[in-house]
Amino acid sequence: MSITPEQKKILDGFNIVRVRDVNPDILQAVKGRTTDGIEDRHLIDCFMQNIEDDKNGHIASFVVLNSDNLPLILFSLRCGELYEVIDHNKLVLAMKAHDALRSLSAAHDSGHPLPPDEDKKKKEIIIHAAQEIGIDRIFEYSQKGKSVFRDKKVEPCSTVSRVSVVYPSIELMYFITNEAARSYWKSLGMMQKMGETLFWTFIIKKVEDLLECAGCQYLFLFAADSDADGSLVTYYKTRLLNIAHNSQLSLSVNKPSFDWNSYFLYQDISVVMKQREYFFAHFNDKIR
């Protein structure tokens, strides 16, 4: 059963505000998960330390508040980029295979075969390239390899990384659920969990808004999972990003030191949007 008008009215009654515009005292009500009597505030403290970046426009941080200014979730978004790496060894192999094909073709056309040892060596190169790259992609990789070497002459700067393809993306840098608001959420009688519901209601709505002014293809994040069973990563994979329906691409990302020891996850935004539709269409089903 889909979300009801009454439930939607409750969600529409929440306010989403840039953190830079919020009274800092309101944010003090955000509490982390408590384990063995100890509150985990690491992510909350990191979020608070980055409020200056929100003011400077380096990240966009938001808080979702109820009518009594109780914070329900905090989150931050910023621009990012994913890419496909270049296997330079394959490019070099393709150039060698392409040269070998041209030599064998020229020898055949001229009626003057290459010496047996040379002929055998060139054919081995071609076979190796066909196995590693695919016979139909040798020319493509060879041209790309030559282009890399030409670009290094045009742009000799060693800090420039050459990749195959880049994909404009949005990073969900922070996503924090206020543990102190769980009893309030329970009192609303919602069928679905607070964090998940507000993720689809507010975070993905902000992603959708961004698409109106900038092209973006992927949503990604780094999940810092402190649970021994990896439950947080599983939660993101199965309930939010729907990684089971990920694309066949294997994308790469630049991982800053802040996110070391966390898990890189990404999903095509078009898939995320469909997942949002499914979530609200089944909002009053038993929690999946």
Looking at 154, 184, 206, the residue that finishes a domain is 154
Asked whether residue 172 falls in the same domain as residue 237, the answer is yes
Q: Specify whether 269 is located in the same domain as 129.
A: no
The reply to whether 52 falls in a domain is yes
pLDDT for residue 288 is more than 60: no
Same domain, 71 and 172: yes
Confidence of residue 245 (pLDDT cuts 50, 70, 90): low
Hey, what are 88's tokens? 């330079």
The encoded tokens of residue 285 equal 């089903």
Residue 248 has pLDDT above 90, yes or no: no
Residue at 181 is within a domain = yes
Both 73 and 211 in one domain: the answer is yes
Q: Is 93 found in the same domain as 65?
A: no
How sure is the predictor about 287, in pLDDT bands with cuts at 50, 70 and 90?
low
- Judgement on whether residues 264 and 205 belong to the same structural domain of the protein: yes
Please, what is the average pLDDT of the chain? 91
Domain with 206, as residue range(s), is 5-84+167-281
Same domain, 172 and 72: yes
**Same domain, yes or no, for 131 and 274?**
no
Q: 109-133 pLDDT, tens per residue?
A: 898 999 999 999 999 999 999 999 9
pLDDT band, residue 7 (cuts 50/70/90): very high
**Alpha carbon of 118 to those of 32, 107, 121: distances in Å?**
69, 11, 5
For residue 246, the domain's CATH number is 3.40.630.30
Residues 116-125: contacts with CB within 8 Å, 24+ apart?
Answer: 125/93, 125/96, 125/97, 125/100
Taking each helix axis from N to C terminus, what angle separates 88-110 and 116-132, rounded to the nearest 10 degrees? Answer: 140
d(CA 194, CA 207): 19
Q: Which of 39-53, 220-234, 270-284 has the lowest mean pLDDT?
A: 220-234
Rounded to 5 degrees, φ, ψ at 262 are -125, 175
Number of domains in the chain: 2
Indicate whether 161 belongs to any domain. Answer: no
Tens of pLDDT, residue by residue over 20-73, are 999 999 999 999 998 888 998 999 999 999 999 999 999 999 999 999 999 999
Out of 132, 154, 176, pick the residue that ends a domain.
154
Q: Is the pLDDT of residue 238 over 90?
A: no
pLDDT at 244 over 70: no
Regarding whether 216 and 177 lie in a shared domain, the answer is yes
What is d(CA 142, CA 243) in angstroms, rounded to the nearest whole number?
Answer: 34
pLDDT at 211 over 60: yes
- What pTM value is reported for the model? 0.84
Residue 83 CA to residue 249 CA, distance in Å, equals 10
Distance CA 207, CA 69 (A): 24
Percentage of the chain beyond pLDDT 70 is 95
Look at residue 286 and tell me if it is in a domain: no
**Alpha carbon of 120 to those of 3, 123, 125, 200, 241: distances in Å?**
69, 5, 9, 60, 50
Do 168 and 214 meet the contact criterion of CB atoms below 8 Å apart?
A: yes
Largest CA distance in the chain: 89
The answer to whether the CB of 137 falls within 8 A of the CB of 101 is no
* Boundary residue ending a domain (102, 129, 154): 154
Residue type at 190?
A: M
Radius of gyration of the chain (CA): 26
